[in-house]
Amino acid sequence: MFRWIKKAFQPQKEGEAGQKQTKYSEKLDYSLQNNLNSIKEAFENSPDFVVRDFSETAAQGTAIAICYMEGLTDPVLISDFIGNIIQYVNASPPFKEQPADVSVRKILPAGSIENVDSIQHVYQAILNGNVVILIDGVQSVLAVPMFGGARRSVEEPTSQTVVRGPKEGFTEEISTNMTLIRRRIRTPDLKFQMHTIGEYTQTSVAVAYIQGIVKPGVVEEVTKRLNAIRTDSILESGYIEEFIQDAPLSPFPTMINTERPDTVSGSLLEGQVAILVDGTPFALIAPVTFFNFFQTTEDYYQRYDISTLLRVVRMMSFFVSLLLPSLYVALTTFQQEMIPTILLVTLAAQREGVPLPALLEALLMELTFEVIREAGVRMPRAIGPAISIVGALVIGQAAVEAGLISGAMVIVVSFTAISNFVIPYFSMATAVRLIRFPFMVLAGTLGLYGILAGAIPLLAHLVSLKSFGVDYLMPYSPFYKSNMKDLILRVPWWAMKTRPNEKAGSNKTRQAANQYPSGSNNMIDRINESDTNE
């Protein structure tokens, strides 16, 4: 088994599985009919594929045709465009062998028009929402962007609720997502590096970064990992995350996924890189540290003291969600002398008729809650919350009355679940849920020593993790005193003069060194001086 795991994670040699030779690499022909027949053959049995041939109605010697996908293009633009084409080919002389862009570009309404000279690129252009113009006697075609079709409008994020801040969320359209970032970061230093990944899906992937703020090595590493992907399909950003993440066998995530443009914009300004994938509203952010999963964009939209309190609550919830069931099992099974006498008597009275040991009791309740949680997610939205709440109350109360579970265990499991929901990012909350079960087994067999035996290798594992070259427990390991101003404690905005050392590139200055609140120091003196001058 270990040999198979080792083989599975070995890098593939170039030309092995996933590296496919395409059969559509040949060049286009000078004959319009030959090119048209090749395209028709490729899109055979595709009812949404449209071909308009103007060869018969055109002037003598002029042959022109257009191809496009009906659902991927704008019908209004197509209608106007066809009218211009008909008017032009009837009035123009024969094209002969002059370049297509010289003959036709002046009638095209679009700006970014691309000359395509291979049949494979023609297929990609059509499937990307372009209108392809074929001209007889010219060994290239024009790809005119006329994107359209049904799209979801910009709405409020559904997976990340917003208390204070922008209500906009990413959509499934990558161009729209890039625009949402552009609206927040209006500088030419914001760059988008485009990639096409997936043998069959041909998914557009954009790497966003701010030149001068990001470390060049991070962008190069992200580009290298993306270019190494050889797969048939990319349907969601989770595919990309699994291919390029550090430590694929670790339960802890090394990339953040979010559907909030303000979160991505703030991360770019910190020196991080964002990966946008066409077809999904979830963007990836890297590199990240462990503490980034307990920080939200809203922490910077409200006062620093409130933000600090919320971050402390989140960190406490992390430890509660991870260790509370294990501590309860260990104390009630092995270390009863550590429990106050009155509380111990109460717990003993509750467990008097319970037939199961504390370990099996905790595992049973945790598994039951996981089933209820999953059922609430998968059921129809109208009845899902009601089923989950009613199921938890009814099952918990019935189990206590039947004597199968103690009341204290129900409280422990419920508070553990609530604490898990406090963690802002679902990927980190899921990692805690997974690790919780081994800790309960260790606590049920070895007591507090088992918890300690599990915590030490877990901490060692966290120290060894990296995210695109950045240490996972930075700035505690290694220690950076200057980065403590925005960790668990968040200082005021005017006190954060520089960006994090481990993420930012050459431009580490965030604001002026003498930036202070306007009314904090000499407000009364300025008011008195103003009154005197009057």
Q: Which 3 state secondary structure label does DSSP give 289?
A: coil
Which burial class, exposed, middle or buried, applies to 530 when counting CB atoms under 10 A from its CB (0-12, 13-18, 19+)? exposed
Q: Which 3 state secondary structure label does DSSP give 97?
A: coil
Q: Which 3 state secondary structure label does DSSP give 258?
A: strand
What length is written for the chain?
534
Which burial class, exposed, middle or buried, applies to 137 when counting CB atoms under 10 A from its CB (0-12, 13-18, 19+)? middle
Distances, alpha carbon 72 to alpha carbons 16, 106, 148, 180, in Å: 34, 24, 5, 21
pLDDT digits (tens, 9 = 90+) for 248-278: 889 999 999 999 999 999 999 988 999 999 9
CB atoms within 10 A of CB 492: 14
pLDDT at 493: 81
DSSP state of 408: H
Q: What are phi and psi of 203, to 5 degrees?
A: -80, 135
Q: Which 3 state secondary structure label does DSSP give 394?
A: helix
Spatial separation of the C-alpha atoms in residues 366 and 359, rounded to whole Å: 11
With a CB cutoff of 8 Å and minimum separation 6, the contacts of 424 are 160, 293, 294, 295, 296, 314
Is the bond preceding 478 in cis, omega lying within 30 degrees of 0? Answer: yes
Spatial separation of the C-alpha atoms in residues 11 and 13, rounded to whole Å: 7
pLDDT at 107: 64
Q: Which residue has the tokens 């060994």?
A: 139
CB atoms within 10 A of CB 22: 11
What is the side-by-side order of every strand in the sheet holding 273-277?
190-197, 203-210, 273-277, 283-286, 256-258
Residue 164: both structure tokens together: 């204070």
Q: Kindly report which listed range (26-30, 341-345, 468-472, 518-522) carries the lowest average pLDDT score.
A: 518-522
pLDDT at 146: 83
Residue 386: both structure tokens together: 């009601």
- Compute the average pLDDT of residues 116-132: 87
- Compute the average pLDDT of residues 433-448: 93
pLDDT at 2: 41
Per-residue confidence band for 150, with pLDDT thresholds at 50, 70 and 90: confident
pLDDT at 324: 93
pLDDT at 34 over 90: no
Distances, alpha carbon 286 to alpha carbons 107, 207, 268, 370, in Å: 44, 11, 10, 30
Distances, alpha carbon 144 to alpha carbons 128, 206, 321, 371, 391, in Å: 10, 21, 54, 51, 56
Which amino acid, one-letter code, is at 306? I
- Write the DSSP string, 8-38: HTSPPPTTSTT----S--PBPPS-HHHHHHH
Which amino acid, one-letter code, is at 183? R
DSSP state of 47: T
Query: Pairing between strand 64-69 and 49-53?
Result: antiparallel
Which amino acid, one-letter code, is at 492? P
Per-residue confidence band for 455, with pLDDT thresholds at 50, 70 and 90: very high
Residue 142: both structure tokens together: 């024009």
pLDDT at 21: 39
Nearest to 136, CA basis, from 92, 88, 78, 94 = 94
pLDDT digits (tens, 9 = 90+) for 172-202: 889 899 999 999 999 899 999 999 999 888 8
With a CB cutoff of 8 Å and minimum separation 6, the contacts of 377 are 384
Per-residue confidence band for 20, with pLDDT thresholds at 50, 70 and 90: very low
- Compute the average pLDDT of residues 8-32: 56
Nearest to 206, CA basis, from 233, 243, 181, 232 = 181
Q: What are phi and psi of 131, to 5 degrees?
A: -95, 125
Distances, alpha carbon 298 to alpha carbons 89, 215, 293, 306, in Å: 57, 26, 13, 11
Spatial separation of the C-alpha atoms in residues 497 and 515, rounded to whole Å: 8
Q: Which 3 state secondary structure label does DSSP give 124?
A: helix
Written in H, E and C, the secondary structure of 428-478 is HHHHHHHHHHHHHHHHHHHCHHHHHHHHHHHHHHHHHCEECCEECCCCECC
- Write the DSSP string, 488-510: SSB--GGG--B--TTTB-S--B-
Nearest to 228, CA basis, from 19, 42, 376 = 19
Helix axes 119-127, 32-42, angle to 10 degrees: 60
With contact defined as beta carbons under 8 Å apart, do 394 and 225 qualify? no
Per-residue confidence band for 511, with pLDDT thresholds at 50, 70 and 90: confident
Q: Which 3 state secondary structure label does DSSP give 406?
A: coil
Can you give the residue ranges of every domain in the chain? 32-145, 174-288, 304-471, 482-534
CB atoms within 10 A of CB 208: 26
Q: Kindly report which listed range (50-59, 318-327, 405-414) carries the lowest average pLDDT score.
A: 50-59
- Compute the average pLDDT of residues 231-256: 91
- Write the DSSP string, 163-201: SSS------S-HHHHHHHHHTT--STTEEEEEEEE-TTT
Spatial separation of the C-alpha atoms in residues 530 and 534, rounded to whole Å: 6
